[in-house]
Structure 1
């Protein structure tokens, strides 16, 4: 990255254009590499509802993203191509972070921040994900950028822009309120309690514009709370949050492996990568802090990186909502600015090679993480697209296909283009989120399989047993009493073939 004094305006724009072009090329080459994730399928199904119903349909999120997705699908089609909506948000985020970094420390810092967020594995993960997280990151970065300009200029139009972005953010994700709280706290730190009339007016405008989201929150809150038993935030969850910003869920244990291994096992697998990340980030954060302190920006950036995780964790504990690192995935935007300040910062006479080595190290870690996501099966989405294609070729007409975990049936159905598969949720056809937890329930499932297969051949699509078959009792019964044998293994999914006696 060129030094601040050597970066002309023309060169700056070419750097940003190059970063955007490489990002666009990356997405074009990889966006269809994996089939849809189950949460993406749920979002697509949710977006099918009429716009009037969509405003009030409970799914734990406000309706802005779903409404935009509905329009996008109508224009460009469903399936993996719907991911391009999130890609569009991601590319725009790169531009916003560039402008924000430029505002905080000049052209070189802006370009470095754009490169850092463009290469961030977690940002790249949600950039190809059909959920609202890429939009949330864009609006959070936009709000921080607008707030920075408004604080510097105190012009009414800048505060008005901040108010508009702030209100839109509330309709993108309920936890966007945390962004506003942290920005307000940063303003108090910078100005004191006598902050002036215009910031107060902007806050009131956001409250008025976002007020219609309040009744939506009540129904979505009930839906989310009843979805699964809540788990409070822990020290391990906080550590994993910071780790995920640099790993993108594809270094150390995979997300599915975290469901079945102990905390100690997870820590041991993640430790080498965690140490590498720490060694690379420490000198950049130290140098960046010194640079941002000189610019009187450190308090704002540090609060935006650190405080949201603690606030979201406390809100989750108070409300009974399970904490999840994706709720604060947008923190990679201010984190990228902080790291960028370390890449181009420093003081006169300071040795630059530690920062350069750290930058190269972080880039190498990001490269491995992103490569793992697209080439290593343990980090890939469950390949239900491949399941449908394989069964279309190998299953005979009329042979029932039982799916565990049962809610994954949505995806197999979606990819069954010929609609020829006789699909059933298992262990209870027609019901979702049913788990086998006893020998008796496994026996009942076998009787269901016997009735539906009429004593003939059957197929078992077996995935995410930690939800549908946590003790392995169902698979053991299928092997013992139905002669189930592994037919093929795909990323995250095993397909078994067996037969049961007619009752």
Structure 2
């Protein structure tokens, strides 16, 4: 009988549930763990308020501002379930709606995910692998990016990694009722956060089915079926809204809330991996460099799963958790494009965990190769973090602040489309409810939003904010602010010839134009713009 290595001994010790608790306790006492969490906090808090609120974040804020019952109702017409918006509603009630406050609700789950990633790896591998996983997950560019947005993606990562941990504990202690209960609650919370939780459920089922008798027996236990039935029952109150949403997918597509992503092709998969790791799709790379590293990464993960000889094949669990959602969403996107970075971010969290496990194993026999892989992965992540931190911040807030300063009672504000409308509402301090430009479509049909997608947030008061033609504006003192992008042709397809532009201000790719719709003497003196121009064009 051969002598077992330290890693083998660790794997054997982890088969007992008591050793799992002890291993995690020892991990928590490691000073390096707390250093890694500080690093995760540092990169996520760094510059997290530099960029202005953008459209999707603005829609989160507008939806979360409703009372809880109305959040439930409006979210049933939106493309995402209501839990994140309800939590954001309570968060803003306690901590306010400052940019630092609202984005912290994503930063904190992002940091928690790093801790959970170390926890998961410690359950299935060594303490060294767990610390390496924490380091690599702390620096994962896509995780950092979506820890700085007022959206639900960081929270989804917490639920699904935690549910996977609960599944591991359950497999190790199959007679415990605590772990199936925890698993049920976490998966239900995930479903109420994002519909793509379904891909994680499929991954867990596939792992149990494919990874041998040591795990397949769990499917035969009543507790597994009861847990899955309980998840469905907990989700049933939301099911009518989901069914209604699916029935109106055509309206969602017509409103631009789904189906706007370009169709996928063979290059889309490696491009996604580059995007997740470097925040760039790699289009400028030579073709060998574009194709080979992503394919090598995918092949290595498959190889790790096939070579997993441990009794419970937990490494295979992480491989399936990572690969199945990415590959499944990629495949589905050939029919309906959904292959979007933020939608697969929860699965990408498994990439650094697998690299850490592989490096830890290679350090025993192939130290040079292990160090090279570790350095290469960290270097790739550094490129992505640099891209995150050095990319030009959006300063739409400056443009709105200029309008706030120069606004006069009786002025009207018209925003060219919903992309800018939600952000403008967040920064607006004028006391005037901005109007939304809704010109008829080329075929003469109405250009107003429908009741689904973003339209559910504005249709309730559409009669007071929709402007189909600028000439239809109700009589007023004669000053109108037009807020739009700087693209050509002009977002405002037809500006009345009698209007006279007093001034315009450009910030990044947006502009605010002040028009006088009456003779200058009647409209009053023009605002002083010289200092504003200096700020807008440093």
Q: 1:325 aligns with which of 322, 332, 341?
A: 341
Residue 28 (structure 1) shift: 3.6
Q: Which residues in structure 2 correspond to 1:183-332 (within 5 Å)?
A: 183-191=204-212, 194=217, 195-197=219-221, 198-222=223-247, 225-229=250-254, 231=259, 234-235=264-265, 236-247=267-278, 250-251=279-280, 268-269=283-284, 271=285, 275=289, 279=293, 282=296, 286=300, 289-290=303-304, 293-295=308-310, 296-313=313-330, 322-332=338-348
Q: Which residue of 2 aligns with 1:17?
A: 34
Determine if contact 2:333/2:339 at 8 Å carries over to the other structure: yes
The CA distance in 1 between the partners of 2:196 and 2:492, in whole Å, is 39
Preserved CA contact (<8 Å) 1:289 1:338: no
8 Å contact kept, 2:103–2:149: yes
Aligned partner of 1:257 in structure 2 is: none
1:97 is the counterpart of 2:117 = yes
| 1:168 and 2:185 correspond | no
Q: Which residue of 2 aligns with 1:468?
A: none
Deviation at 1:356, TM superposition (A): 2.5
CA deviations 1:394-437 (Å, max 9, x no partner) are 567766544333441232232122437x8443354997569xxx
Q: Deviations over 1:208-265 (max 9, x none)?
A: 3333332231233346552225548522544443233213xx435xxxxxxxxxxxxx
Distance 1:211 1:455 in 2: 53
* Counterpart Cα distance in 1 of 2:402 and 2:163: 47
SS of alignment partner, residue 461 of structure 1 = strand
**CA positional deviation for 1:450:** 9.4
Residues 407, 430 of structure 2: 8 Å contact kept: no
Aligned residues: 462
Measured after TM superposition, the shift of residue 287 of structure 1 is 8.5
Q: Secondary structure at the match of 1:16?
A: helix
Measured in 2, the distance between the counterparts of 1:135 and 1:322 equals 20
**What residue number does 1:376 align with?**
391
Q: Is the 8 A contact 1:308 1:328 kept in 2?
A: yes
| SS in structure 2 at match of 1:39 | helix
CA distance in 2, matches of 1:182, 1:458: 54
Q: Does structure 1 conserve the Cα–Cα contact (< 8 Å) formed by 2:471 and 2:496?
A: no
For the 8 Å contact 1:281–1:358, the answer to whether it is kept is no
- What do residues 299-331 of structure 1 show as CA deviations (whole Å, max 9, x unaligned)? 32222222113433556677x675533222101
> Structure 1 residues 355, 160: closer, same or farther in 2, change over 3 A?
same
- CA gap 1:287/1:327 in 2 versus in 1, 3 angstroms: closer
Q: Does 1:67 align with 2:86?
A: yes
Q: Which structure has the bigger radius of gyration? A: 2
1:340 deviates by: 1.3
CA contact (8 A) 1:425 1:431 kept: no
Q: Deviations over 1:447-473 (max 9, x none)?
A: 7269679897765433285xxxxx725
SS at match of 2:483: strand
Query: Relative to 1, partners in 2 of residues 1:310 and 1:290: Cα closer, same or farther, differing over 3 Å?
Result: closer
Instruction: Determine the structure 1 residue equivalent to 2:126.
Output: 106
Shift of 1:130: 1.6
What are the superposed Cα offsets for residues 25-71 of structure 1, whole Å, 9 maximum, x if unpaired? Answer: 33444222222121111112112222223333321222221221111
**Aligned CA-pair RMSD:** 4.1
Taking a change above 3 Å as real, the CA distance of residues 284 and 190 of structure 1, as seen in their structure-2 partners, is closer
Contact 1:400 1:453 in 2 (8 A): no
Classify the secondary structure of the residue corresponding to 2:211: helix
Q: Name 1:442's counterpart in structure 2.
A: none
Equivalent residue, structure 1, for 2:455: none
Write 1 or 2 for the structure with the bigger share of helix. Answer: 1
CA distance in 2, matches of 1:184, 1:150: 14
2:200 aligned to 176, 179, 183, which one? 179
- Provide the C-alpha distance between the structure 2 equivalents of 1:83 and 1:306, rounded to a whole number of angstroms: 29
Aligned pair partner of 1:42 in 50, 59, 81: 59
Pair 472,484 (structure 1): closer, same or farther in 2 beyond 3 Å: farther
Contact persistence 1:405–1:462 (CA under 8 A): yes
1:70-126: CA deviation from partner (whole Å, max 9, x where unpaired) = 111111111421121122211221111111011111111111112222211111111
Rate the CA distance shift 1:10–1:347 in 2: closer, same or farther, 3 A: closer
- Partner of 2:415: helix, strand, or coil? strand
| Cα displacement (A) at 1:348 | 4.6
SS of the residue 1:243 aligns to: helix
Gaps of at least 5 residues in structure 2 are 1-5, 11-22, 441-445, 451-466, 520-538
Distance 1:389 1:10, change over 3 A: same
